Each structure stands twice: as structure tokens, then as C-alpha cells.
Amino acid sequence: MKEFMSIGIGIVGAGMISNFHAKAIADTNNGKLIGCYDRNGERAEQFASANGCRSYSTLDEMLADPDVQAVAICTPSGAHLEPAVAAAKAGKHVVVEKPLEVTKEKCDEIIAACDAANVKLAATFQSRFHESSQLMKSAVDAGRFGKITLGDAYVKWYRSQEYYDSGAWRGTWALDGGGALMNQAIHSVDLLLWLMGPAKRVHAMMDTMTHERIEVEDIVIANIQFENGALGVIEATTTAFPGALKRVEIAGSEGSAVLEEEDLTQWTFASETDEDASIRERMAGKTETGGGAADPAAIGHHGHTEVFNDFIEAIENDREPLVNGVEGRRSTELICAIYESARSGKTIEL
């Protein structure tokens, strides 16, 4: 078996999600956390002390470090572009926390910069790596649902006013990129597109109903038509106390399945296989956390670990990451179309 040197990784941004990246890197097969940079130097130093790594005073200092072969972008959503492009130009591979960026144009700039520098680019959509999600995808690809007619995503979460007040960037179009849909529901949007294929058109409504001092929506509903002809609904909110696990549903002429976080709560097909009963048993009660439904920190880091393992293997074997830049862009494109439809009242063609 071929052996590889450890891939040194630097983290840009020392907010909450950076801690999950640090834990994930520590659990990878071949990754090593080298250091962290944050515009708030004190916060970077605290992160470095807690994680036994270096603290850099500038981004350029991190990018000049030969021990850093890859960079994880953990800045606010609308501030991914600048450090991602800088990292690519410095010859560093790039993994970006969701969303890849908050507009299609910014996503395209990141993708182009990584392509021009011939470095790998991965987007952090860890839900794709869960066993239950993989089983759903395999069933779709095998045609087990027959003619797929419906694909739905429901994210009925709760966020307090204090959550939005905790950071000046939260709830802003510029840096959060949106509200319940762009920040909280984007993983479910990504899963839905991965399972159902591209969206063709969308019609949406949104509002801000229970939160104050935010620019973005805290509730949105979108009707989707997919290119395969199936219809679907996306519901996302941060107003639903006490918060429920996110849910993705696929239904067709020969089967239905419901994914709640990592649990498969329904797995029924007209043509049963020998494995179906064991899947129903094994995939019940898989979720061990609150899934972020009420507390954004109530998630595990195991999905992030798989993202980093795949990213590192892509670097080592010179292949594309499973969720590369083009894949990471898809959810941003659909979400931006949903926002455009909600603002204009028109059906938007993708």
C-alpha cells in the first residue's frame, strides 16, 4: 500500500465552526492541523492554544508557511472568496465550509482560481457522507423508486434572538448570504439536489416573522420542478420552537424513503431486497446529536472528518473531491433563485 506524507492544514477564521474542523482534522487518516489565522489575533491565539497549533498574525504569513499544503476556510459565509482565492494563488489546496460562497459569481471566482492554480477545491457538505444519505443515493441510482415524483426538504429549526445578536455578521445579506435557507437549510438543499438532480424552475415566498434586527428571512417556502419532471417543496425556518431534525423525503411509483438527519425513518419499496429489513433496523436511531435544530453547536464532527479524509485522498491521488467546487455551487445557485423568486413574486427558470 502506498504511503503518503501528512497533509498540513491551516484554518482561516477561528469562529465556532473552526473547532469542528480542528476535531475533524485530528481524526483524519493523514491530515495535520498546522495553525490558524483570524483577523482577531487574540481569538486566533486562543484557538492555537486550545488545539496545539500555531497562530499566524497575517493570512500571508500562513500562506507562506511550507508546512501548510491546504487551507480550510471558516470565515463568515460571505467572506469566503478573498481567503480562498489567496490560498489558491499561493498554491494551497482549498476546503471551504458551507456555503461555497453566497452568490453564483463568487462561487465561480473561487472555482476559477483553484482551476488556474491546479489545486483541489472541496465544499463542506458533510451530510452527503452519512451512511443513510449514501443508501438513499444508491437507491435512487439503482432506480428503486421507479418514476420519482416528489423530492422534499424540511428544515424546521429554532434560533433565538440572542443567536442573531451574537455576531454582527449574522442575519446580514452581505456576510450571512441569507437566513434560514442559506445558513441553516443549505445542507438539505444540497442533499435534495444530489438525490433529485438539477432544479428546472422555482417559485417561492419568504418573510421575517419573529426575529428583530436582521435583514434576512427566518421563514421561506419554495415549490420546485426538477429537470427529471418531479416536483418538490423546500421549507426552511428558524422560528419553529423547539426545533426538529431536518428531513429529506423521496417518493416515486415504486418506493418512498424519509431521511431525518442520519435516521432513515421510512424505507419502503415495491420490490424488497434481502438487505432492506436490516437497513430499516440499522438506520433507526442513528442520530446522536440535536442535529443543530435548536443549538448550532449540537452537531458531531464525524461528517467533517469524512469530508477531510476525502479531500486529503483527492490531493494524494490527484482526483477530484467528491464534493468539488462545481458540486458545492449547486445549492448556492438554487438558493439565490429562490430568493429572486420570493422578492419578485415570479417563477424563476434556472
- Check pLDDT > 90 for residue 295: no
Task: Look at residues 147, 85, 183, 144 and name the one whose alpha carbon lies nearest to residue 276.
Answer: 144
Task: State the pTM of this model.
Answer: 0.96
pLDDT at 5: 81
Rounded to whole angstroms, the Cα distance separating 252 from 151 reads 9
Ordered by start, the domain boundaries in the chain are: 7-127+301-324, 128-295+332-349
What number is the average pLDDT over the span 330-342?
A: 98
81: pLDDT strictly greater than 50: yes
Q: Is 239 helix (H, G, I), strand (E, B) or coil?
A: strand
pLDDT at 3: 65
**In angstroms, how far is CA 151 from the centroid of its own chain?**
19
Nearest one of 22, 3, 24 to 12, comparing CA atoms: 22
pLDDT at position 116: 98
- pLDDT at residue 300, as a whole number: 82
Q: Is the pLDDT of residue 45 over 60?
A: yes
In what helix (H) or strand (E) does residue 196 lie, and over which residues does it extend? helix 186-196
Angle 302-317/16-26 helices, nearest 10 degrees?
A: 60
- How large a percentage of the chain has pLDDT more than 70? 99
Alpha-carbon distance of 6 to 87, in angstroms, equals: 19
Residue 288 confidence (pLDDT): 75
Judge whether 251 and 145 are in contact, CB under 8 Å. Answer: yes
- Residue 297 clears pLDDT 80, i.e. is over it: no
User: What does the alpha-carbon distance between residue 100 and residue 325 come to, in Å, rounded to a whole number?
Assistant: 7
pLDDT over threshold 70, residue 46: yes
User: Rounded mean pLDDT of the chain?
Assistant: 96
The residue-averaged pLDDT of 83-87 equals 98
Helices (H), 71-130: 81-89, 104-117
Average confidence (pLDDT) over 331-341: 98
Residue 315 burial by Cβ neighbours in a 10 Å radius (0-12, 13-18, 19+)? buried
What number of CA atoms fall less than 13 Å from residue 88's CA on the CB side? 23
User: Quick check: 92 and 31 in contact, CB under 8 A?
Assistant: no
Pick the CATH number of 128-295+332-349 from 3.20.190.10, 3.40.50.720, 3.30.360.10, 3.90.550.10: 3.30.360.10
pLDDT class of 2 with cuts at 50, 70, 90: low
pLDDT digits (tens, 9 = 90+) for 57-73: 999 999 999 999 999 99
pLDDT at 294 over 90: no
**What band does 1 get if pLDDT is binned at 50, 70 and 90?**
very low
- Express each pLDDT in 251-266 by its tens digit: 999 999 999 999 999 9
Chain segment 124-160, per-residue pLDDT in tens: 999 999 999 999 999 999 999 999 999 999 999 999 9
Percent of the chain surpassing pLDDT 90: 93
pLDDT tens column, 160-212: 999 999 989 999 999 999 999 999 999 999 999 999 999 999 999 999 999 99
CATH 3.40.50.1970 fits 7-127+301-324, yes or no: no
